[in-house]
Amino acid sequence: MKNIYITLFFLGFTFLAVAQNEAATHLAEAKTNYASRDLDGTRFALQQSLNELYVLIGKKILAELPTTIGDAKALSEGDQYNGMALGYSSIYIDRTYQSDDKKKNINLSLINDSPLLSALNLFLSNPVMNMMSGKKMIKIDGYKCSLEASESTPVTYTLYVPFSQSLLTLTFDGYDNENQVTTLAKQVPIGKIIALAE
């Protein structure tokens, strides 16, 4: 009976079911390995299962992202998502948006356990350091963010949104000012992304 339900689910949601089935398969393998006291095999199977779950979360987050931000359209065919980042289990997603004239680009990326996280949290918790660094602290969707403008011409704006053990980054190329960037960033469902990633 269980196999019938799995088959029906597979027919309705092919790719999602495959990923979930792989996660379940790895969990079953971990249980078998643990019963036979193969702790290394158990650890490896659990890690593989976790990777599959992170892939599913990454796909759900990408599905929540808007198809356009301002006049920039999502280049969905270039979406990246993975259950591994920097050699360990983690959520990783990346999407690029581009205007029709190709003069404006927005890149959105999310990574767990980012190496930048501790430095950013230090800046966000200390407004004086934030000002001295040239970064501006703002709030979007109720979350503290750090907005940084590059010293290059044209200016590139980067918005960092740290949360839990993750870092959401939005990079804006070809945009005129920080007010425009902030308005565009508010079109991203940051709260939904964080709810799915946590």
Summarize pLDDT for 105-162 with one digit per residue, the tens.
Answer: 999 999 876 555 656 666 556 666 555 556 788 899 999 888 999 888 889 999 999 8
Residue/partner pairs of 16-22 with CB below 8 Å, 24 or more apart: 16/56, 16/59, 19/52, 19/55, 19/56, 19/59, 20/52, 20/56, 22/48, 22/49, 22/52
| Higher pLDDT pick, 43 / 88 | 43
Residue 87 has what pLDDT? 55
Element (H, E) at 114: none
Residue-range domains of the chain with CATH: 2-59 (no CATH), 67-197 (3.40.1000)
Note whether 59 and 81 are within 8 A (CB): yes
Q: Which whole number is the average pLDDT over 25-30?
A: 72
Summarize pLDDT for 81-100 with one digit per residue, the tens.
Answer: 876 655 556 788 999 999 99
| Higher pLDDT pick, 32 / 57 | 57
- Average model confidence (pLDDT) across the chain: 78
Element (H, E) at 81: strand 80-85
Lowest-pLDDT choice from 3-7, 76-80, 100-104, 119-123: 3-7
